[in-house]
Structure 1
């Protein structure tokens, strides 16, 4: 069957349905195709606008261009601008092609339809992402420790997930709702330094002052450990173990150290081991005494 141009045109312009109160332009196949193209174009323009805002803001930031708090604000503003263009542009396009979204019943029905088909998690993560951006409790560049065990730097707060990069350069995509519903430790939220503790043990009989002197000397060899009024490194005696007296090396560390806790712990342990060995302080290992009571053992042999 051959179709001429006029037949195809009539077919594309054939009314399919109407949405909203009359008078409303009926929705046709052509208008639906136009809506898809325009919505995709608006989403692309929204992404381009976000990138343009970030570049322009960084160029105008000057000396603040590398400031983590400034970069976090830039990310929040540009991402919210992108979402605003998405939503408003999509509404305008759908109204233009005849989908009257002013009807509350339509919007409610669409949401109920989407949620009923398993989109509740997507919707929850999207709203959680907007809450995260607006509240400012979590920003790009922060070092976080999640209840699930994920620990690393926040690199991106997207529509559905937040990208966390660990110190092993592994990107973990965490659903936004996990930051709203779960426990989140933000190591870099406000203060630029944090207190860190390194447990260690020494042999019984070692003078306490000698142990503290070694611990403080070890801490002072690690760059980034604070040593001013109110933030001096020290050693705490915390418990008596089976084979050792247990201490903790307590230090205040700057942002660079607190955002790499495993590496910082290793550096402090290395310096502590050198300081203890230099002063002849023994690091004990578990020991057990075995007492054997004397007695007679009755051994009887039987023939099979």
Structure 2
């Protein structure tokens, strides 16, 4: 039976009991005689008293049922979980206490005025002794009326005390932390101090991550690196978009704050870990170490030379160049052309001719594939610093297989055919290794690309390897 129907049935039963009880209380003798029972006066009085007690208790229960229905109706449209039981519990206490007083006064004809006066003194004594607990109770009532938080919300009631609201009772609120530790906080303490609700007015909220980088690093470059890392982190919401701001200066360098949005406070730690891990990888790819207070004079290389050495390190980490000699990698790093780009700029277009490879040094790029001519390209991947694209065009001269668009500002380095040709002519066996590597990479990417393309499937791996090798040799004029 649905909850609404059960509440309705309970209210009807309580009303019938109240009517039956009051009727029996006023007309006990007549009702007993009507059903053929001839009882003594004491028995008739007991039946009448029982009817009066039943009537008042039934009336109190009817009030409880109506209160529950009113609270349920008032919170029916709420998306923040079930309402606390404190209001219903308070209504029960008040209604049944009133029923007891009414029974004493109207059923047993006892003088309740003196009783209430005497009990008032007793209540004052007890209230003074339990004033803190009573304050917590009334604070709980105020919290339930205002609803600053509900069951399931994540709240921070004190520095280091954050948890999900599991229960709100008469005296306290019970929280469960992310370590699955139960924390009981008196309602008076919460009502009398400032607390944070991470689940209201919306479940998602903005988190901040602060770090310092060396002041020698240009601010715009640092922002590009940090923003790309935040955009590429899993669990971080794409909208609203992450932001990076320079917050200040100290003895370590420039202080930055990375602001990103989290779907729910329960995801705060995983999101922070993902963002920090991405930032660490991006800084490593860019050749940037942690900032520390400067207390010594150091001889540094010119900025251009440092950048080229960092590029050589990045090239060594790319699988395509792992078989190259150290000297060959340094030559490529020295000849590579730096190409800054702006957010929204298209680096290469699908289907256009090309004979160069690009290494992403800073920023983030989107890989977009058009299923058919005239259709809107679909974003199939996001590239982060250290990744390369365009290697097939560099080695075989084939048209670009996808469009690469800038998700943030950044920098790529371009390696052209004329940069690589002297190395391949000097070491022809590299052609076979490069063809095998390209074949494996294309096989790994095939499933992802076919999801966004209706083009026919690729040939078998052996045939693909042979085809790539022949194209590479023909493109570079190798025997």
What are the residue-to-residue correspondences of 1:29-108 with 2, within 5 Å?
69=80, 71=81, 74-76=82-84, 78-93=85-100, 95-96=102-103, 100=112, 105-106=117-118, 108=120
Higher relative contact order (CA 8 A, sep 6+): 1
- Tell me the equivalent position of 2:296: 289
Counterparts of 2:212 and 2:126 in 1: how far apart (Å)?
Answer: 59
Residue 187 (structure 2) pairs with residue 180 (structure 1): no
Alignment equivalent of 2:163, drawn from 146, 152, 159: 152
Q: How far is 1:80 from its partner? A: 1.9
From the superposition, tell whether residues 107 and 214 of structure 1 become closer, same or farther in structure 2 (CA, over 3 Å): farther
- Tell me the equivalent position of 1:274: 281
Q: How far is 1:176 from its partner? A: 0.5
Q: How far is 1:201 from its partner? A: 1.4
Q: SS of the counterpart of 1:168? A: coil
Alignment equivalent of 2:242, drawn from 229, 233, 242: 233
From the superposition, tell whether residues 102 and 271 of structure 1 become closer, same or farther in structure 2 (CA, over 3 Å): farther
Deviates more, 1:82-91 or 1:152-161: 82-91
**Rg bigger for which structure?**
2
From the superposition, tell whether residues 119 and 101 of structure 1 become closer, same or farther in structure 2 (CA, over 3 Å): farther
- Tell me the equivalent position of 1:252: 261
Alignment equivalent of 1:166, drawn from 177, 181, 195: 177
Deviates more, 1:268-277 or 1:79-88: 79-88
Conserved in 1, the CA contact under 8 Å of 2:213 and 2:255? yes
Conserved in 2, the CA contact under 8 Å of 1:187 and 1:259? no
Q: How far is 1:198 from its partner? A: 0.5
Alignment equivalent of 2:141, drawn from 120, 124, 130: 130
Q: SS of the counterpart of 2:251? A: coil
Q: How far is 1:101 from its partner? A: 7.2
Q: SS of the counterpart of 2:112? A: coil
Q: How far is 1:123 from its partner? A: 0.7
Q: How far is 1:200 from its partner? A: 0.9
Conserved in 2, the CA contact under 8 Å of 1:165 and 1:172? yes
Q: Any stretches of 5+ residues in structure 2 without a counterpart?
A: 1-52, 105-109, 298-479
Aligned length: 226
Alignment equivalent of 2:125, drawn from 85, 103, 113: 113
From the superposition, tell whether residues 101 and 281 of structure 1 become closer, same or farther in structure 2 (CA, over 3 Å): farther
Deviations 1:50-87 (A, max 9, x none): 9xx79xx8xxx8xx9xx851x2xx333x4422321133
Deviations 1:223-263 (A, max 9, x none): 342333xx321211112221222111111222x2x345444
From the superposition, tell whether residues 100 and 217 of structure 1 become closer, same or farther in structure 2 (CA, over 3 Å): farther
